[in-house]
Every structure is written in structure tokens, then in C-alpha cells.
Amino acid sequence: MGTPLVSNCSSDLTPGIALVGVGPGDPSLLTLRAVQKIEQSTLVAYPVSRLDREGMAANIASTWISNEKKRLPLLFPMVKEVESLKQAWIDASDQLADAVFNGERVVFLCQGDVSLFASSSYVLLGLKARYPECPVELVPGVTAISAAAAAAAWPLTIQQDQLLVLPTPDDSKTLEILLADAFRWKRVIALMKLGHRWTWVKPLLARKNLLDDALFAQKVGWPDQKIIKAIDLDETVQSYFSLLLIRQSWPEIIP
Ligand SMILES: C[S@@+](CC[C@H](N)C(=O)[O-])C[C@H]1O[C@@H](n2cnc3c(N)ncnc32)[C@H](O)[C@@H]1O
């Protein structure tokens, strides 16, 4: 048998770190395992874009974070500059490993699933590279895509459908090519990180006559969740926490 990719915390009460998916948005979407890991932890870590902010993942899980629990906000700045990003990931891994080596049972909270465009993946890669002996467990969560499809009662994929999940490209030419390929291959597209790009995505979809085929989802699971047909949404800048599902065709045989 080969070496496992990540070590499994054999006992839940030994020091180690669990990367735990929460939400998205709605705290009732946490898995039983996620709640168990938070309750058994001695220290709760979570990403923040600024140290004076609470962070969305911590907010979602707040019901299960008791007052006596130690907290560790970790800075994941929303910048593109490579050196700052790398340093932030290294700092986060160092602080988490330090806590584990000091006997803490750590959870690192992450919005949605821990493996899909997730801050927890930088922590995982940082720990693997720098502290391979540190026990790590991953607790999967509900992705924003699944939560959006469920909230809209919108089948994501069936039969031979393909699914392409990607960050919204930065230029319209790339999106045009993706849309043409998706039409050819009966591929549903999930565009993450839509935010400010909606100002040019909407006119492009309008030109291609695809607005009726697209569903917009913003802040799914939060009290101000918005799920509407793309055609009904103004072409103004949207929240970073928004995504678009585009289905250009349905299988021939459906109920
Ligand atoms: C860094 S990714 C995190 C994805 C997350 N790990 C998941 O499993 O869904 C951030 C992107 O996910 C999407 N997203 C995350 N939470 C969302 C929510 N509550 N509602 C709508 N989209 C969301 C947005 O497209 C956002 O730009």
C-alpha cells in the first residue's frame, strides 16, 4: 500500500490540523464532521482579508465557536502581487504548524469546499512542503456552485452533460471561445469570481442570445442571497461572492 497523500488524524483528540469547509453562507450546510471538528478543536483559525475583519468563514461557523476557544485570524490579502501572496501563505502555514507543535487541535475554516479555489489549499500545500510531519485532515464542504444550483432548483448536470468550473476570464474573447466549445460539447459552465466582470459579461451574453440560459447567484446562503435569471440583472459591478451558471441546451430525453 502506498503512503497516504495526507495523514489522517487517527484520534480526534490528538494535536493536528483539520481544514474544514463551512457554508457557503448558511451555517446549517456544515457537515456533522465539520461541526465535530470545530467542537473538538482548541484553536479556530480562519482567513481574513484584513486583520480588523472577522472573516466570512468564521462568521458562518460562529454558532459552534464557543467563547473560550482560542482564535487565530490569518491574513490572506486580496492582492495580486506574487511575493506578498507567497509570504502570506508561508506565514499562515508557519503559524498553524507552530500551534500544532504546541499541542493545539486546530481547525482552519474555509468557505464552501476545502479543495475548490480554496484558501485552505494554500495552507495544505504550505504545510506539506514545510511541515510534512504535521497531521492534516480535510473535511469537505458544500461548494457555492452546488448551493446555488440547489437554491434555484436548477439541475447542474445530467446524462452526458459536461461541467466546466472556472474563474471568469478577464477578456471577452476567451469567454466567447469557451461558450462556443460549451455549446458543441453540451457543457454547462460555472463562472466563479464574476464580480466586476459582469459589466462586460452581460453585454456579451446578450449579443450571443444567452441571457435566458444563464442563472446568476450572489451570496448564496446569506440573508441577502440573490438568485435570479441573468436577463433580470443590471450590468453593474456585482459582489465578489457571485457566480453564473450557463446551460445552453438540455438532453433530448428528460421528463
Ligand atoms: C475563492 S472562491 C471559493 C470557492 C469555495 N471554496 C467553494 O467551494 O464554493 C470564491 C468564489 O466562489 C464563489 N462563491 C463563494 N461563496 C459564494 C456564495 N455564498 N454565493 C455565490 N458565490 C459564492 C464566487 O464566485 C467567489 O468569487
> Hey, what's the cell of 124?
495544505
With the most atoms of ligand 1 within 8 angstroms of its CB, the residue from 48, 117, 222 to mutate is 117
Shortest-distance Cα residue to atom 14 of ligand 1:
241
Coil, helix or strand for 24?
coil
Coil, helix or strand for 32?
helix
CA-to-CA distance for 177 and 175, rounded, in angstroms? 5
Q: What is the pLDDT of residue 5?
A: 45
Q: What is the pLDDT of residue 52?
A: 84
Q: Name the stretches of the chain with pLDDT < 50.
A: 1-10
Cα 209 to ligand 1 centre (Å)? 26
- The residue extents of the domains of the chain are 16-142, 145-246
Asked if CATH classification 3.20.20.10 holds for the domain at 145-246, the reply, yes or no, is no
| CA–CA distances in Å: residue 154 to residues 91, 217, 218, 245 | 40, 11, 15, 9
Q: What is the pLDDT of residue 7?
A: 47
> Hey, what's the cell of 208?
450571443
Coil, helix or strand for 91?
helix
Atom of ligand 1 nearest to the CA of 240: 27
Domain 16-142, architecture per CATH = 3-Layer(aba) Sandwich (3.40)
Hey, which residues does 164 pair with through a beta bridge? 189
CA-to-CA distance for 2 and 72, rounded, in angstroms? 34
Q: What is the pLDDT of residues 98-119, one digit of tens each?
A: 999 999 999 999 999 999 999 9
Helix axes 82-101, 119-130, angle to 10 degrees: 70
Ligand 1 neighbours, Cβ below 6 Å, are: 24-25, 111-113, 116-118, 143-144, 148, 192-194, 217-221, 240-243
Coil, helix or strand for 70?
strand
Q: What is the pLDDT of residue 247?
A: 97
Q: What is the pLDDT of residues 213-240, one digit of tens each?
A: 899 999 999 999 999 999 999 999 999 9
